[in-house]
Amino acid sequence: MILDETTDVATEKQLGIVVYCDAENLNLIIQFLDLVPVCDNTANGLCGALKASLQAKNISMNNIVGFSSDTTNVMFGSNESVVALLKKDYPDVVTIKCSCHMFHLCASYACLKLSTSLEDLVWNVYAHFSRSSKRFKNFEEFRTFCGTPVHKFLCLSQTRWLSMESVVNRVLEQWSLLHLYFTDYVESKCDPSNTAKSILQSLRNVF
């Protein structure tokens, strides 16, 4: 079983429950089980929401053989946590920290050692085109002229794990075209905020 908290667009907290079940044929089946509204996001509150969801579906807690989640204190803390409460009542449950989340944390801390200019560049490039259909149309004309593949720029996400690589690769793919576009854009003095000038300076930075 995997648990994760989320906050929806109405800023209401929810608890997502996913199960890996092996009912009859020894095949791994991944199934979304429930999305439970939670008012209390403490370990006790989350455990209570989990138990209530399983009880409503006539599933015994004794059926849980493994548990995984992200590495937050409320989930995996040594004292008051969902894992600690589960282990107290069901000591045989195998608990494993989410490997994807661990990799994400490693990559995030490694990126802190890099210059923020890279992140600023990919953010600014995405924002430049996402906020103006006119700018994007002008860029499309440059693409047509240069014969560059038509791919949208990707938004760097803080919650979408390891998204940096895809975002950077997309910018690298269109690097020469971006350089050409922003050179023209800056020379035409269309941007009073100087953001485009900052983007161009980054594109001209050999390092």
- Condensed to tens digits (0 to 9), the pLDDT of residues 100-157 reads 888 878 887 887 887 888 888 999 999 988 878 888 888 888 877 777 777 888 888 7
Provide the greatest CA pair distance for the chain. Answer: 69
- Condensed to tens digits (0 to 9), the pLDDT of residues 11-25 reads 778 888 888 877 677
What is residue 111's predicted lDDT score, i.e. its pLDDT?
78
Please determine, for residue 56, whether its predicted confidence score (pLDDT) is greater than 90.
Answer: yes
The residue behind tokens 């092996």 is 22
What is residue 101's predicted lDDT score, i.e. its pLDDT?
81
- Number of residues assigned to the chain: 207
**Which token pair is 121?**
């560049």
The alpha carbon of residue 143 and the mean position of all alpha carbons in its chain are separated, in whole angstroms, by 29
* Cβ-based neighbour number of residue 146 at 10 Å: 12
Which is higher by pLDDT, 93 or 137?
93
**Which token pair is 118?**
């890279």
Please determine, for residue 191, whether its predicted confidence score (pLDDT) is greater than 80.
Answer: no
* H-state helical runs in the chain: 43-56, 73-76, 82-89, 99-111, 117-130, 133-146, 164-173, 175-187, 195-203
Q: How confident is the model at residue 165 (pLDDT cuts 50, 70, 90)?
A: confident
The residue behind tokens 């648990």 is 3
Q: Are 199 and 121 in contact (CB under 8 A)?
A: yes
